[in-house]
Every structure is written in structure tokens, then in C-alpha cells.
Amino acid sequence: MPREHEGEGPTDVATDESATDEPSVTSTAGQNGNQLTLKLTHPNCWMREVTAETDAQLLVNAVYIVEGQVKTHVVAYAESRAALEELVRLTHESEHTVSVTEMYSQHDFGSDSALEKKAQRSLLVEYDPAKSIHDALVSRGFMPQEPIRIRDGWEYWTVAADDSRETIQEKLETVQSEGDAEITVQKITSHGSVDYPEVSLERLSDRQREVFELARELGYYDSPRQISGTDLAEELGISKTTVHEHLRKVEATLLGSS
């Protein structure tokens, strides 16, 4: 199943509060839970394939394991009937699907605003669990809070997790590594004694985004790290202290930490 899975991993949200070259992640314990918005993609996924090649989208309503295979109920929808028919055709023809059953239920899915005034088709699709990322996330405690949406080859998940933020990051890194996936945490919201506002990358200043994106590109968050804070500062033409200050503010914005 598919993951802007636009090239960023879950370590996007881990930054340093200190001015050292060996930062640790600052986190808030998830005693009352965290809600995350994930954007992700992974290989050998029929959903990524059919939405990347058409103007249609998918809404995943249910995922089951039946006799060793994944069976997923999805609603395919598009602005035009032609785009919808093309997605259905590609789903039938995909090498990553085992069977596709078109459902003719009269159940009303129109309560979802995304489906209003759209051409729709309800499908039950069977495929190999090895080509799904669903169990890898759910088995690690990322519980979907609403239907999963897939468009343009990317999956969008809203999940709840009651782990600390360090643990959330570690688990996402594991999923990313084991499944050759790309995962971006677009938003994380905590609910506790302080109700932190929902934030996303769009809330970063231009300079913060520049520092943050270069740090990711050059492997600052890789394990092992591919570039030191000192070398990153040289690339940016600023002091190491300023680099860490920018990254500390990015973390405070993305994670709601103080």
C-alpha cells in the first residue's frame, strides 16, 4: 500500500536543542497520546501505481487478512468517469493484485466530503501482504483514525500512537528501513495538560525550511550521521550555533516542544 512521500523520512522531525555535533531528540511523553499525519509511499504497491498513472484517487475503508492474503475495501473516485474507469482497469491488470471484485452495494459513502459529486466505484482488492505496509504500521501501534487516502502515488494516514516521540520516531524508521518506504511526518498533535496547536512544514520560516531540508538531504539525520553540525554550518555559510538554533526551532514547531 502506499506514502509530501516526497523523499523525506520520519527522522525529519528529530533535531537538537544543544550546540553539539551529537544531538539527541527532544520529546514529550505521549501519556495522553499523539495524533500524526503521515505521508508515505513504498515499492510494489498497486495503490501507488494506479493513482500515479491516473487522475483518480482511493479511499481505504477497511483492511483484512484472510487466508494469508490482504483484502482491502476501497472506494475509487474521480472527477470524470473516464479517469475512474482507467483506474479500475489498471487495478485489474496490476501485477501486484491477486483479485479485484467490483462491489455494487448501495451503501452511502457520500458522507465523506471528498466523494461529493464524484464518480465512484467500490472495490474489494486482494493482494500479497508483502506488498502492503498496513500491518507494519498497525502492528507497531499506529492506529488509523480515519480512512487512508491515496492520490498521485502517495498514501495519507491519520494515526494515533501512545508512545513517546522518541519511540514513534524509532518505529517509523524501522518501518521505513524494512519496507524500503519513504515516510514523512507532516503533522503531530499532542493532547495533555497543554493543548499544542497542530503544525506542519508550512509553518516554518523560509530560512528554517532551507536549513532543515539541507540537513535531511546531506544525511544529518541518517544513522550513522553523514555530515556533522560543523560541516553543515559550512555548507550554509553560517555558524554551528546558528544551525543548531534553527533546528531547535524547527523541532519546537513540528513537535510542539518547549
pLDDT tens profile 1-57: 443 333 333 333 333 333 333 322 333 333 558 888 898 999 999 999 999 999 999
Residue 230 maps to which CATH number?
Answer: 1.10.10
Domain for residue 5, yes or no? no
Report the mean per-residue pLDDT for the chain: 79
Query: So what's the pLDDT on residue 105?
Result: 56
Q: What is the β-pairing status of strands 34-41 and 154-161?
A: antiparallel
Among 190, 213, 235, identify where a domain stops: 190
CB atoms within 10 A of CB 2: 31
Residue 18's CB: how many other CB atoms inside 10 A?
A: 12
pLDDT at 117: 67
The pLDDT score that the predictor gives to residue 204 is: 76
What pLDDT, in 10s, does the model give residues 97-109? 999 999 875 454 4
Q: Please indicate, yes or no, whether residues 171 and 212 belong to a single structural domain of this protein.
A: no
Same-domain status, 227 and 135: no
d(CA 197, CA 199): 6
Residues 6+ apart with CB under 8 A from 66: 126
Same domain, 47 and 113: yes
> Domain count of the chain?
2
| Same domain flag for 87 and 149 | yes
- Residue where a domain stops, chosen among 171, 190, 209: 190
Are 41 and 92 within one domain?
yes
Q: What is the pLDDT of residue 215?
A: 85
In this prediction the pTM is 0.63
Rounded distance between C-alpha atoms, residue 103 and residue 121, angstroms: 8
Q: Which residue range is the domain that position 247 belongs to?
A: 201-255
Q: What is the length of the chain?
A: 258
80 and 38 in a common domain: yes
